Chains A and B, each alone.
Chain A
C-alpha cells in the first residue's frame, strides 16, 4: 500500500515520491521517538511529579495556613468576646462605684444637714437661754439696786434701832 501510494510520484500528497526517503524518515523518527521516550520522558515525568508534589505541598501549606488562620480568627473572636466582657465589667464596676459615691455623697449631705440643723437648734436655744439669763440678771440687778435705794431711803434712825433690836431678840431667842 505504501509502495502504491509512493508509486504515484510527486503528487502533492504527504508521502514522498521516493520510498527510501520514507524509510529513512521513519527510521529517524523512530530514533528520535526512542530517544524522547528514553531520555526526555523520565525528565518530563520527574518534572510532572515534582510539579505535582509542589502543588500538593502548596495545597497542604494552604490548608495549614487556612487552619492557622481559622485558629487565629477564633482566638481573635475569643479575645474580642473577652474584651467585650471586660468592657462590660468595667462599665458595670464604674456604674456601681458611681452609685456608691452618689449614695455616700447623699448620705453625707443628709448627715451634714442634720448636724447643721441640730447645731443651729442648739445655738438658737443657747442664745435664747443666754439672752433670757442676761435679761433675768439685768432685771435682778436693777431690782436689787432699786430695792437697795428704797431701803436706804427709808432707813432712818428708828428703823435702824428696830432692826438692831430685832436682831438682838433673834440672837437671844435662837
Chain B
C-alpha cells in the first residue's frame, strides 16, 4: 500500500466516522484543484523551510468556511506532515477506493475546457462500456492539455489530448 493510499484510507475512516465521505471527497478535490491552479499556493504548502504550523494555517485560511471541519483538519494534517505534493494522488486514491467500495470505478479526467453535464454523462457511459464497471468521472480543467481529454482509471491512462499529438509530432520531426 502506497503512502497516498494510506492517507486516503485514513481520510475515508474520518469521513465514515463523520458519516459524510462524499463531502470530504468533494472538499479534498476542490482544495487539490485550487492548489494546482495556484503555483504560489503550491510552493508555500510544499516549502519545507516554513514551519508546519504556518503551512497548516495557510490551509485553514484557504478552506475557512468553504470546507467541512473534518476535511479541513485532514488536509491540514497532511500538509503539516509535508505531504502537500501528494494531495492529487491522495484525492485520486480516495475517490478510487470509495468508487471501488460502491462497486464502480473512478475516472480522473483532465480537459482544457470545462465539460458540460451531458458530456460528462456520455463520457461516463463510454468509460463504463469500456471497463465493464460503472464509472464516476471527475473533471479537472488543465490548460496544458490544450484540447481533447486525458482520462486515468486506476493505472490506465487514455490520452486523447492535443498536447500528446503535438508531442508526437515534435518527436517525429526530431
Q: Residues on A close to B: CB < 8 A?
A: 136-137, 139-141, 143-144, 147-148, 151-152, 155, 157, 159-161, 163-172, 174
Task: Contact check, A164 vs B111: say whether CB atoms are below 8 A apart.
Answer: yes
Contact residue among A140, A169, A172, A174 (Cβ-Cβ distance under 8 Å from B173): A140
- A151–B174 touching, CB < 8 Å: no
B146–chain A nearest beta-carbon distance, Å? 7
Asked if B166 is at the interface (CB within 8 A of a chain A CB), the reply is: yes
Contact status of A171 and B147, CB under 8 A, knowing A141-B170, A151-B162: no
Given contacts A164-B115, A164-B119, A171-B130, contact A148 B173 (CB under 8 A): no
Q: Does B160 contact A (CB under 8 A)?
A: yes
Contact A167 B166 (CB under 8 A): no
Dominant secondary structure at the A interface: helix
Of B127, B149, B170, B174, which one neighbours A164 at CB under 8 angstroms?
Answer: B149
Do residues B119 and A137 form an inter-chain contact, with CB atoms below 8 A? no
Contact between B130 and A139, CB atoms less than 8 A apart: no
For the complex, is B66 an interface residue (Cβ under 8 Å from A)?
no
A-B CB proximity, top 5 nearest: A140-B173, A172-B126, A144-B170, A167-B160, A140-B174
Asked if A171 and B127 sit within 8 Å, CB to CB, the answer is: yes
Q: Give a binary string over B50-87; 1 marks a CB under 8 Å from any A CB, 0 the rest.
A: 00000000000000000000000000000000000000
* B133 at interface by CB-CB < 8 Å: no
Among A136, A155, A165, A167, the one with the most B-chain Cβ atoms within 10 Å of its Cβ is A167
Listed in ascending order, the chain B residues whose CB lies under 8 Å from chain A are 111-113, 115, 119, 122-123, 125-127, 129-130, 146-149, 151, 158, 160, 162, 166, 169-170, 173-174
Contacts of A159 in B (CB 8 A): 147
A172–B119 Cα distance when bound, in Å, is: 13
Q: Given A141-B170, A160-B113, A167-B160, A172–B129 Cβ distance below 8 Å?
A: yes
Which residue, of B123, B166, B169, B173, has the highest number of chain A Cβ atoms within 10 A?
Answer: B173
Count of A-B contacts with CB under 8 A? 71
User: What residues of chain B lie closer than 8 Å to A172, measured between beta carbons?
Assistant: 125-126, 129-130
B115: nearest chain-A partner, CB-CB: A164
Q: Contacts A147-B169, A163-B162: A171 and B174 contacting too (C-beta < 8 A)?
A: no
Alpha-carbon distance A138/B91, docked complex (angstroms): 39
> CA A43 – CA B158 in complex, angstroms?
153
CB distance from A136 to the nearest CB of B (A): 6
> 19 more A-B contacts (CB under 8 A) besides A167-B123, A172-B129?
A136-B173, A136-B174, A140-B170, A143-B169, A143-B170, A144-B170, A151-B166, A152-B146, A155-B146, A155-B162, A160-B147, A161-B119, A163-B147, A163-B149, A163-B160, A164-B111, A164-B149, A167-B148, A171-B130
* CB closest chain-B residue, reference A170: B160
Residue of B nearest to A139 (CB): B173
Q: How far is the CA of A174 from the CA of B173 in the complex (A)?
A: 28
Contact A168 B123 (CB under 8 A): yes
Q: CB-CB < 8 A to A174: which residues of B? A: 130
Nearest A residue to B151 via CB reads: A171
CA gap between A66 and B174 in the complex, in Å: 104
